[in-house]
Amino acid sequence: MRPENQSRRSFIKGIIASGAVASTGGLMFISGCSDNSSIPASGSVERLISLNINGTVRRVDVLPNETLAMTLRNKLGLTGTKIACDRGECGACCVLLDGVSFNSCSMLSHSLTDKNITTIEGIASPAGELHPVQTAMIEELAPQCGFCTSGQVISAVALLDQNPNPTRDEARQAMAGNLCRCGAYDHYLNAVLRAAGEIA
Amino acid sequence: MSTKDMMPHFDLFQPSDVENAIELLDRYGAEGWAIAGGQDSLAWFKDRVKRPVAVIDLKGIPGMTGITETAEGLEIGALTSLTEIANNTVIQNSYSLLATAAGRVASPQIRNIGTLGGNICQDTRCWYYRSGMDCYRAGGNTCYADTPEGQNREHCLFDADRCVAVSPSDTAPALVALDATMVVQNSDGIREIAAEDFFIGPDVDIERMTVLEPGDVLTSIKIPARWAGATFYFEKVADRATWDFPLVNIAAAIQLSGNTVEDIRIVCGAVSCVPRRLTVVEDIVRGSTRDAETIDLAAGASSRGAVTLNYNHFKIPLMENLVRRAIRDA
């Protein structure tokens, strides 16, 4: 039973963060536990690591075979990052690594300990004010089902950081790593160019 | 096919220098796996087709990234990202063939993390092999692609030997065209291998795409100044402009004097297990003017000896036209 005044989304996120979701937890550890009975070889990585995410250092227990997308969603409750293909083919799990976009499903969490990671949760200001890219996407009605949107926002933010005034073609190239199965590509492009106008 | 659970367990090592990495690779032998950007490796692990006991992450090794100008030309650390290569001004100015090729790999996100070394050493994309079937390349005794019903639209035209898989790399043809050298280190020391000899076909070893053996680490790629500032041409034909591997790609370095070709190296990717250097084309074109007659002759000769499979006949005219364009439009 969730409290009356709590949204479904924050309720679910709270539960994941507390590590109490049986199904997700089970799925996570099936392979880990069954194969993990042996003691890790000496010299291999420690499981408890620090990740700098959205400006905060988070201590987290990470398996050596765990991708950042898994860590973000299942260990840290940052479920804004979506896993769709889990193969680096769709861009839904895009996050920023020192300002550069990459697919968090295709990177081991352990290789990111000394890096600054920004997820979709870190794009808006701490006070909750939306990034110009996010506002522009709302105004241009870019998201339809919304599943690819967090990845689209990340790619757009990465582009505008490097090239504040892209042409439509440059924007199209930069956004080419994000699939949208609703086919709202042109709406997203309109939003990127609108945001560029507002940031510049 | 796409599972969204964890990869099977492995022990992860993060050595801080090459010697340490090699020691680990030697310790684990065939059960060890060196990982660079991981854009190819992790998919293998997720599919449970490759199950290494130990994964040795090379990314923490400081000396293996970066682009340095040397007296002989350029030295590129094997872990340099494809984005960095595509955007580097020295490469853009003098060796734009490589910058263009690197910029055509996969998607922006993958280029940001994927490395030059990884792009060269990646395994083939034959889906029978990648889905874990016990084909020749996987140590079995069948090829599933070269059968009457086999889906072999992406497979090879040349030098098939039981296996019909192709080299999927975009940067490899560019490096062979630039006459690059691969610097490989193992516990015995450092050796340098010409790019042309680095890639091996199934007739040499059916289970490997390169000369690298367990315990070998590709540390850097040297590009000689010989072709700096030459006239270049790169084109990749793929089903989609992003992500897809080449159906055929072409990389050419041409030294022109007026309209006469003084020297040329031209290499075609995704038509055989190795980047295929088209020496016949080079011999026809070298010393000739770039007129229609020469170009037609060269294009026709490029596909000589091709043996098609059921679904890849289209690669012959595609390859010939790319050769034609490379010489005409470079």
- Structural domains in chain A? 8-35+47-122 (3.10.20.30), 132-199 (1.10.150.120)
Using CA coordinates, name the residue in chain B closest to A170. Answer: B108
Within 8 A of B109 by CB-CB distance, chain A residues are 88, 91, 94, 101-103, 155, 177
Partners of residue A86 in chain B, C-beta under 8 Å: 2-4, 46
Q: Judge: A85–B2 Cβ closer than 8 Å, yes or no.
A: yes
Range of the domain at B21: 11-60
Percent of chain A past pLDDT 70, that is, above it, reads 80
Write out chain B residues lying below 8 Å of A110, CB-based: 12, 14, 57
Q: Sorting pLDDT into bands at 50, 70 and 90, what band is A5?
A: low
Structure confidence at residue A8 as a pLDDT band (50, 70, 90): low
- In a domain? residue B173: no
Please compute, for residue B118, the number of CA atoms within 13 A of its CA located in the half-sphere on the CB side: 27
Which H or E element spans position B224?
strand B217-224
Q: Considering only CB atoms, which chain B residues are within 8 Å of A43?
A: 13, 24
The CA distance from A145 to A135, in Å, is 17
Q: Residues B185-192: contacts with CB within 8 Å, 24+ apart? A: B185/B18, B185/B22, B185/B216, B185/B217, B185/B219, B186/B22, B186/B26, B186/B213, B186/B215, B186/B216, B186/B217, B187/B22, B187/B23, B187/B26, B187/B215, B190/B219, B192/B222
Separation CA A99–CA A161 (nearest Å): 8
**Residue B89 resides in a domain:** no
Which single residue is written with the structure tokens 């087709």?
B49
**B235/B249 Cα distance (integer angstroms):** 6
Q: Quote the CA–CA distance of A168 and A191 in Å, as a whole number.
A: 11
Q: According to the model, what pLDDT value does residue A61 have?
A: 97
Q: Which distant-in-sequence residues (6+ apart) come within 8 Å of B197 by Cβ?
A: B211
> Which helix (H) or strand (E) is B45 found in, with range?
helix B41-46
Residue B47: inside a domain: yes
Q: Which pLDDT score, from 0 to 100, does residue B328 have? A: 96
Residue B44 resides in a domain: yes
Residue A4 binned pLDDT confidence (cut-offs 50, 70, 90): low
CB atoms < 10 A from the CB of A194, how many?
18
Q: Which of B2, B6, B242 sits opposite A87 (nearest CB)?
A: B2
Q: Which residues of chain B have pLDDT under 70?
A: 1-4
Q: What is the pLDDT of residue B6?
A: 86
Please state, in angstroms and rounded to a whole number, the distance separating the CA atoms of residues B155 and B110. 24
- The pLDDT score that the predictor gives to residue A23 is 42
pLDDT at A30: 44
For position B21, which CATH number holds? 3.30.43.10
Instruction: Count how many pairs of residues, chain A against chain B, have C-beta atoms within 8 Å.
Output: 121
- Least confident residue range of A16-30, A134-148, B265-279: A16-30
Separation CA B314–CA B309 (nearest Å): 10
The string of DSSP codes covering B99-124 is HHHHHTSS-HHHHHH-BHHHHHHPPP
pLDDT over 90 at A33, yes or no: no
Terminal alpha carbon distance of chain A: 48
Separation CA A159–CA A176 (nearest Å)? 11
- Kindly report the nearest CA distance between residue A144 and chain B, in angstroms: 22
Distance set, CA B219 to CA A148, B78, B112, B115 (Å) = 37, 5, 19, 12
Between CA A154 and CA A93 the distance in angstroms is 9
Give the model's confidence band at A171: pLDDT under 50 very low, under 70 low, under 90 confident, else very high: very high
Token pair for B92: 């853009």
**pLDDT band for position A17 (50/70/90)?**
low
**Comparing A7-11, A93-97, B280-284, B318-322, which segment has the lowest mean pLDDT?**
A7-11
Interface test with A, best of B49, B58, B65, B109 (most A CBs within 10 A): B109
* Contact across the interface for A111 and B10, Cβ inside 8 Å: no
Contact residues, chain A, for B14 at CB < 8 Å: 45, 110-111
Query: Which two tokens mark A39?
Result: 């003691």
pLDDT band at A180 (very low <50, low <70, confident <90, very high): very high
**Probe site for chain B from A89, A93, A117, A147 (most B CB atoms < 10 A):** A89
Are A103 and B6 within 8 A, CB to CB? Answer: no
CA–CA separation, A158 vs A96, rounded Å? 7
Residue A32 has pLDDT above 50, yes or no: no
Nearest CB to B12; choose among A32, A64, A103: A64
Q: What is the ipTM of this complex?
A: 0.94
Q: pLDDT (tens digit, 9 = 90+) per residue, A44-57?
A: 999 999 999 999 99
Q: How far apart are CA A64 and CA B171, in angstroms?
A: 30
